[in-house]
Amino acid sequence: MLLMKLFFSIPWRHQMYILDKIKDVKEALFYVHKTIENGWSRNMLLNMLDTRLYEVQGKAITNFDRLLPVPQSDLAQETLKDPYNFDFLTMREGYVEKELEDALTENITKFLLELGNGFAYVGRQVRIVVGQKELFMDLLFYNIKLHSYVVIELKTGEFKAEYVSKLGLYVTAVNHQMKHQMDNNTIGLLICKTETQSQMRPSLGNKVGHISLSFSPKDKERLTDKYMTDTANEYLKGMGIIDTQYLIVRHNDREHPHCHIVYNRVNNFGQTIKDSNNFRRNIEVCRDITLSRKLYMPQGKENVKIERLREPYRTKFEIWQTIKQILNNIRSWEELRSYLHNQNIEISFKYKGTTKEIQGIIFLKGKYSFKGSAIDRSFSYAKIDRQIKRNISPKQQETLEQTLQKPCSDQSKSLNDIIFSNITNRLNLLGIPTSNTTLEC
């Protein structure tokens, strides 16, 4: 809840910029803290994001913690920057890697200052032999503080996984062929161009998605932070929301456990994460997760909090609630129509072509209308009709069938008597006094 409050304490546009450009949760929170602490405007935040303040302060993405001893790992992490700012270069549009390399070596003093303290220039296009193959490293430096060679590979295009493999080959070769006993392991530095993900899909309107996952209070004891995070990750995978930045934040402001997921709809490969057909897919994924994790599944609409529903769902639920309360006691369509009319709900029938055969039913309240089966599967015309017939006692059913077999004039009078009798019985049940009056045709 604390993280959620912190994140939503900055303006929505600030949130969108951070989610669009930052992939790591800790880094995102760093910018949230800095925005609050310094009162950054949107332009100031964008500037700090573009200069990558967090990573410049020693947070470049590395594998040092796994491959280097702890002292060297920490120092290396603090030494390297991301990004490196080469604004001191004057380059033509569409420059190639050799031109960048030439420009950097011509401006070696400025380049060394940008790299940071302790870097010594060794050479460019440094030759190494791997097997029978001759390879050339773009730039080679030695860092006096780290006591390590630093291999720099320059790429003018977007990041590709194959660049890391090639850089790894250079690092291994330097370790075997150039590193002395007093030297620490060689470090590889890949410098390439990259874009923010939103720029990959400039025409996409809504670049940020938001989902709320709610759980039953009956599962509260099981829902540790880890359990909820694992469940949310399983949900994201099921929904196809993968290879993108996202935040999972738990909320404790309601009686039911729940979490919010905010994610970037432009994934790491520049592809749009589609949100069409999400409603149907969401139902399937939630059902599968509920069953596989043996979470509590409420029956019907037993725990719905109507005051928190938005339109048209609120009106839809009100109609469902009203019909559900009376359906098992209604003995005729006229009785149902009359009762619903008093609750500001009207009934409309759908007929087959130009015939009088009823095919469906529609319920209307205010400006909203719903098919019966859309409100509840048991509210289709056929199922309500069967329920009304079940509600009629055997004696009433027999009387009704006999009435339908009588001549038309007698039949109309008998039907009126039955309707009147039904209404009278219902009014008496509701405590409303009636007088002995007979309906005439």
Q: What is the pLDDT of residues 245-288, one digit of tens each?
A: 888 888 877 778 899 888 888 887 778 888 776 777 888 899 89
pLDDT at 426: 56
Residue 339: the pLDDT is 92
pTM: 0.38
Examine the pLDDT at 57 and tell me if it is beyond 70. no
Q: pLDDT band for position 342 (50/70/90)?
A: very high
Please check whether residue 441 lies inside any domain of the structure. Answer: no
Which CATH number does the domain housing residue 226 bear? 3.30.70
**71 with 182, same domain?**
yes
User: Which residues, at least 6 apart from 306, have a Cβ–Cβ distance to it below 8 Å?
Assistant: 314, 317, 318, 321
Q: Which of 292, 320, 347 is the last residue of a domain?
A: 292
**Is the predicted pLDDT of residue 414 greater than 80, yes or no?**
no
Torsion sign across C-alpha atoms 317, 322, 323, 324: positive
Q: Residues 83, 59: contact at Cβ < 8 Å?
A: no
Residue 437 lies in a domain: no
Q: Looking at the structure, do residues 401 and 387 belong to the same domain, yes or no?
A: no
Mean pLDDT for 375-389 is 91
- Is residue 280 situated within a structural domain? yes
Q: Are 69 and 161 members of one domain?
A: yes
Shared domain for 377 and 401, answered yes or no, is no
pLDDT tens track for 308-340: 778 888 899 899 989 998 998 888 999 999 999
Phi, psi of 340 (to 5 degrees): -65, -35
Question: What pLDDT sits at residue 200?
Answer: 61
158 and 78 within one domain: yes
Instruction: Looking at the structure, tell me whether residues 80 and 174 fall in a common domain.
Output: yes
Same domain for 166 and 117: yes
Does 297 map to a domain?
no
Indicate whether 70 and 168 sit together in one domain. Answer: yes
- Percent of the chain's residues with pLDDT above 70: 66
Computed from CA positions of residues 166, 168, 173, 174, in that sequence, does the dihedral angle turn out positive or negative?
Answer: positive
Look at residue 372 in the predicted model and tell me its pLDDT. 92
pLDDT at site 270: 74
- For residues 16 and 247, is the Cβ–Cβ distance under 8 A? no
- Residue 439 included in any domain: no
18 belongs to a structural domain: yes
Last residue of a domain, one of 225, 258, 292: 292
Residue 328 domain-assigned (yes or no): yes
The reply to whether 180 and 81 lie within a common domain is yes
Q: Please, what is the average pLDDT of the chain?
A: 76
Q: Are residues 177 and 244 in the same domain?
A: no
Is residue 78 located within the same domain as residue 150?
A: yes
The answer as to whether 148 is a domain residue is: yes
The parent domain of residue 254 ranges over: 200-292
The backbone torsions φ and ψ at residue 154, rounded to the nearest 5 degrees and listed phi first, read -105, 130
Is residue 9 left, alpha or beta, with left meaning phi > 0 and alpha meaning psi from -120 to 50? Answer: alpha
Count of domains observed in the chain: 5
Q: Which two tokens stand for residue 200?
A: 């990959």
Same domain, 104 and 153: yes
